[in-house]
Amino acid sequence: MAFFPSGINKNHVIELIQQGNINELHNTIRSRLYIDDVDYQIIFEDYSFGNDCFGDEFSKARTIPNEDWNRAEKVVFYVENIANLMNDRFSKLPMEIFLKVAEIYVMYILIHELVHVRQLKDRVISNDTKDEIFGVPYKERAIEIEANTIASSIISEFGEFEREIARLLLSNEQLDNNKVAMLIDMYYKRG
């Protein structure tokens, strides 16, 4: 029997972001983060180009502030980058589990970006603070650490499997056969 790796493309990512589960989560997180009064666009682009204060060509999403840096104007999902990461890191998983991981990953990215929306609203990120914030390497920025911590915490509320996926996403750990077997076992033991 031949083994065919799992995979998704940009259209799958867009469908995931637009599906009911993610929309419900979006509304719930907006409320939890006290940003339901903030209006912003959600935009899909294939790739992130360039290297600026918001990330680099490998970025999965960005929250773009308005001209005055006092609110979020748009959240951009780089759908090819997301699909590529999923295919590179998780294609060893059976398709059913792979698709669940893709959903968790999209939820993680959405929550992470919504934390940035709140940071703009609360003026943690502003015209006055941006130079200092963006002068620090990306992974060391307090705003990124907070966004990752909150995203991991919320994703972990869904269960042990989801907590492990959040951990893997932060660690950039590659999946060996033992890790694949462990994830398959965790997935099927979920309630």
> Is 5 a member of any domain?
no
> Is 4 a member of any domain?
no
> Is 84 a member of any domain?
yes
For residues 26 and 191, the model is more confident at 26
pLDDT tops 50 at residue 2: no
> Is 60 a member of any domain?
yes
- Give the pLDDT of residue 99: 94
For residue 150, what are the domain limits?
10-189
- Give the pLDDT of residue 191: 67
pTM over 0.95: no
- Give the pLDDT of residue 54: 59
pLDDT tops 60 at residue 4: no
> Is 80 a member of any domain?
yes
> Is 135 a member of any domain?
yes
pLDDT tops 70 at residue 186: yes
> Is 26 a member of any domain?
yes
**Token pair 């705003």 in the structure block, residue:** 143
d(CA 52, CA 49): 9
pLDDT band for 141, please (50, 70, 90 cuts): very high
d(CA 148, CA 20): 23
pLDDT mean over 151-165: 97
Q: Which helix (H) or strand (E) holds 78?
A: strand 72-78
- Give the pLDDT of residue 9: 93
Give the three-state DSSP class for 135. coil
Find out whether 63 and 120 touch, Cβ atoms under 8 Å: yes
Q: What is the DSSP string of 13-73?
A: HHHHHHSHHHHHHHHHHHHHTT-TT---EEEEES---S-BTTB-TT-SEEEEE-TTSSSEE
The model's pLDDT over 29-77, given as tens digits with 9 standing for 90+, comes to 999 999 999 999 999 999 887 655 555 667 899 999 999 999 999 999 9
Q: How is residue 74 annotated by DSSP?
A: E
pLDDT mean over 75-95: 94
> Is 156 a member of any domain?
yes
- Give the pLDDT of residue 53: 56
- Give the pLDDT of residue 48: 82
d(CA 39, CA 105): 23
Comparing C-alpha atoms, which of 155, 146, 30, 47 is closest to residue 101? Answer: 155
Total number of domains in the chain: 1
Find out whether 143 and 117 touch, Cβ atoms under 8 Å: no
